[in-house]
Structure 1
Amino acid sequence: MKVALATWNGRISPVFDVARQVLILDVEDNRVVARHEEMLPGTEPQAQAGRLASLAPHTLICGAISQSMAGLLATKKIRVIPFTAGAVEEVVAAWLAGTLPNPTLAMPGCYGRRGRFRGPGGGRGMGACFGGRRTIM
């Protein structure tokens, strides 16, 4: 199975819609058997989604993503695990362990109360992160 991670400076890219790079993992029996980086256009949504689809990942792990982009990827049968944050290797380890999505690797505000202010979700669930859905598709 192929998994794509939107990356930037060794971390999950904060916004997939303008991400310029993905790490592609070939995973077999919960082990990474191959990995390589690919460039994305980082521009027009159709081009971004089309380039990712040409790499044939089953799943995309990314930071923030617009609902329109998530919809484009869903039409291309790419499962999205959005609002993920952290160091790439830490996220890869969590994916292999089957623990994504994970509150410790979520963007701020996406899993309940993380600080003094409760935000749109009132401290419950994922706040404004796609109305509480943890994966798309």
Structure 2
Amino acid sequence: MKIAVTHENGNVFGHFGHTAEFKLYEAQDGRIVSARVVPTAGSGHGALAGFLQAQGVEALICGGIGGGARDALAAAGIALYPGVTGSADAAAAALAAGSLSYDPAAKCAGHEHGHEGGCHGQESGCHGHEGGCGQDRHGCAGRG
């Protein structure tokens, strides 16, 4: 199984739509057998699901994620494991072993831009608009 984790400084990055890189893992027989970091090369928001699909990713571990990205990942056939924090390596190993603790309801949060319902008032969740939510790469994670 190929697992992608939103990645920053060894940890799960808190907002899918703003991740600058993914750590991709190959899992076999319940354990990680290889890993590599792949930059998104400027792919943002809606393009990230296609980026992951092109990498052959079957499962994504992330922190927060908006509704539009959830839909795009589902359409790409990528299983989603949101609401994860901490070490990217530990999260991938836990998923491979079948013991990952995650929050299926985790959303992109921490936007104080006046969007109705936070960033999720936008038709496509956090995705598809420039400025606003996209200005603060760490804002969706609630980190500064």
Q: TM-score, normalised by structure 2?
A: 0.65
Does residue 1:59 correspond to 2:69, yes or no?
A: no
Alpha-carbon separation, structure 2, partners of 1:57 and 1:80: 11
Pairing of 1:17-36 with structure 2 (within 5 A): 17-36=17-36
Alpha-carbon separation, structure 1, partners of 2:12 and 2:56: 19
Give the 3-state SS of the residue equivalent to 2:52 in structure 1.
helix
- AA aligned opposite 2:9: N
Whether the 8 Å CA contact 1:40–1:52 is kept in 2: the answer is no
In structure 2, do the counterparts of structure 1 residues 95 and 44 end up closer, same or farther at CA, with 3 Å as the change threshold?
closer
Return the offset for 1:101.
2.4
Pairing of 1:71-82 with structure 2 (within 5 A): 71-82=71-82
Q: How many residues align?
A: 105
Return the offset for 1:43.
4.9
Gaps of 5+ in 1: 111-137
Gaps of 5+ in 2: 107-144
In structure 2, do the counterparts of structure 1 residues 39 and 30 end up closer, same or farther at CA, with 3 Å as the change threshold?
same
2:45 corresponds in structure 1 to 45
Task: For CA contacts below 8 A with separation 6 or more, give which structure has more relative contact order.
Answer: 2
2:88 corresponds in structure 1 to 88
2:141 corresponds in structure 1 to none
In structure 2, do the counterparts of structure 1 residues 8 and 100 end up closer, same or farther at CA, with 3 Å as the change threshold?
same
Runs of 4+ in 1 over 2 A off after TM superposition: 41-46
Give the 3-state SS of the residue equivalent to 2:85 in structure 1.
coil
In structure 2, do the counterparts of structure 1 residues 36 and 23 end up closer, same or farther at CA, with 3 Å as the change threshold?
same
